[in-house]
Amino acid sequence: MIDIMLPYYGDVALMQAAVNSVLAQADAGWRLTVVDDTAHPDVPGWFESLNDERVRYYRNERNLGVTGNFTKCLDLAEHDLMVMLGADDIMLPNYVGTVLSVAKDHPGVGMIQPGVEVIDEHGNLVNGLTDEVKKRLYAPRVDGRRVMGGEELAASLLRGNWLYFPSICWRTEAIRGAGFRPELRTTQDLALELELIERGEQMVIDTTVCFHYRRHLGSVSSKMALDGDRFTEERLLYSGAADRMRARGWKKAERAARVHSASRLHALTLLPTAMKGGQGDVAKALAKHAFGNG
């Protein structure tokens, strides 16, 4: 069984599409738990109308924010495996069957990254610059399945985080042991992945496409990128990671953290937008991140 945890905030229709994609799974080995951090009046009634014992619905008495809601989801998970599904993402019908098959063949693995396609806000398949760079420059070459861990995986992710966090299936004990850092907003995924790698967890990559990751400009990380906060957070994360990698003797991973090439490239691609919009301070911050020493 897999606990599919859905920390919800945002668009109602997209959330309903995400829930319906879970209900359409070909493999019955799942349970869905939705933790609602909104005040939309129609949402509780919609879940009640589903009348499905496989679906649990909770509404927070007060707003917990992203990290608080993620942590509550961790607390509510009960099965050995779990997924932190994005409220606007889509599981293809073969998702649960795919990750359960991997888990059966690799018992005790900490993370499973299945094959992902990217869609826009309208559900159309897209292949933008960000995902092309992920695929061609940073993601490892995998034919079928591949097991990665240790310095190899850490260095790969520190060069450029090619994972899709909402699609990853986690061993519940592992992700709960690491938890989420309350001071982070847009780098929770990489921080968590590095923590698990440093704890000795391995990842299985399976190329079977079974998940649609939705990318659109309305995301928190997209908004933060153009006010500079995202890259301030990223610099601190990479600096701390570099120090830890050095202490471990992981020289390749330390170098990847200090260079953080994908993060620099991202800042560089945003420079024209900031300059065109007359955001001088933001443009300076982006240039510092793209060309600076730290």
Same domain (yes/no): 31, 167? yes
User: From CA 145, how far away is CA 112, in angstroms rounded?
Assistant: 10
> Which of 161, 184, 216 lies at the terminal end of a domain, its last residue?
216
Average pLDDT, 10 consecutive residues per value, the chain (294 residues) = 96 97 98 97 97 97 94 98 98 98 98 97 90 92 97 97 98 97 91 98 98 77 61 91 98 97 87 84 83 76
* Structural domain boundaries enclosing 172: 2-216
The pLDDT score that the predictor gives to residue 208 is 98
Count: domains in the chain: 2
Same domain (yes/no): 252, 110? no
- Residue 226 and residue 273 in contact, taking contact as beta carbons nearer than 8 Å: yes
Same domain (yes/no): 168, 58? yes
Same domain (yes/no): 156, 83? yes
Same domain (yes/no): 212, 225? no
Same domain (yes/no): 247, 186? no
User: From CA 83, how far away is CA 165, in angstroms rounded?
Assistant: 9
